[in-house]
């Protein structure tokens, strides 16, 4: 039985499309804008990848009338977005020098190259993008800062969508 698109049923599709838009924006800024991601930037992309998959499955579940499964998947997207907001907030703290990032964020080498081969390997590897430097900002807010707001907004929307899906089951 194929369900109709009621107000709660659109939530999983909106979560999926919003996640595609956010992740797409990050990839466009990387490949066409030249804003290469640091380690924390890459971690911030993971919740969106999860939400794309879970949201797509939840969308199909809604179409099949399996609202309980869809609600559970959308609720898990909400938790993923909250995790992403936490990672982004931590990244903002590193950017503002409120606390230190990991060694992966600073490019600190474990030791000096002692042979010509080790030196060649170091020169051929891509430079580490530092987490404590802000390559782009608008109105004084970095991409990580905007991601905090985006992730919190999507977490709230996903939670409300999950709630709407369970209410419609009664």
Assess contact for 143 and 37: CB atoms under 8 A.
no
3-state secondary structure 104-162: HHHCCCCCCCCCHHHHHHHHHCCCCCCCCCCCCEECCEEHHHHHHHHHHHHHHHHHHHH
- Cα Rg of the chain (Å, integer): 20
Assess contact for 50 and 21: CB atoms under 8 A.
no
**Full-model pTM:** 0.80
* Local confidence pLDDT in tens for the 170 residues of the chain: 344 444 568 999 999 999 999 999 999 999 998 888 888 999 999 999 999 999 999 999 999 989 999 999 999 999 999 999 999 999 999 988 888 877 777 655 555 657 777 767 766 666 667 777 778 777 988 888 999 999 999 999 999 999 999 886 55
Report all structural domains of the chain as residue ranges with CATH numbers, in order of start.
8-167 (1.20.1550.10)
DSSP 3-state assignment of 45?
helix
Give the pLDDT score at 2: 40
């Amino acid at each position: 039985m194929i369900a109709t698109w009621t107000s709660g049923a659109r939530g999983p599709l909106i979560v999926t499309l919003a996640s595609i838009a956010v992740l797409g924006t990050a990839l466009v800024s990387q490949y066409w804008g030249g804003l290469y991601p640091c380690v924390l930037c890459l971690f911030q992309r993971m919740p969106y990848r999860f939400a794309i998959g879970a949201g797509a499955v939840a969308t199909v579940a809604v179409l099949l009338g399996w609202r309980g499964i869809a609600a559970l998947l959308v609720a898990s997207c909400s938790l993923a977005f909250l995790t992403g907001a936490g990672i982004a907030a931590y990244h903002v703290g590193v950017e503002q020098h409120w606390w230190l990032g990991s060694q992966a964020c600073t490019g600190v080498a474990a030791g000096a190259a002692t042979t010509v081969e080790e030196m060649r390997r170091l020169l051929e590897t891509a430079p580490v993008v530092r987490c404590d430097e802000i390559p782009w900002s608008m109105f004084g807010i970095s991409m990580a800062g905007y991601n905090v707001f985006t992730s919190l907004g999507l977490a709230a929307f996903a939670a409300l969508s999950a709630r709407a899906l369970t209410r419609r089951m009664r």
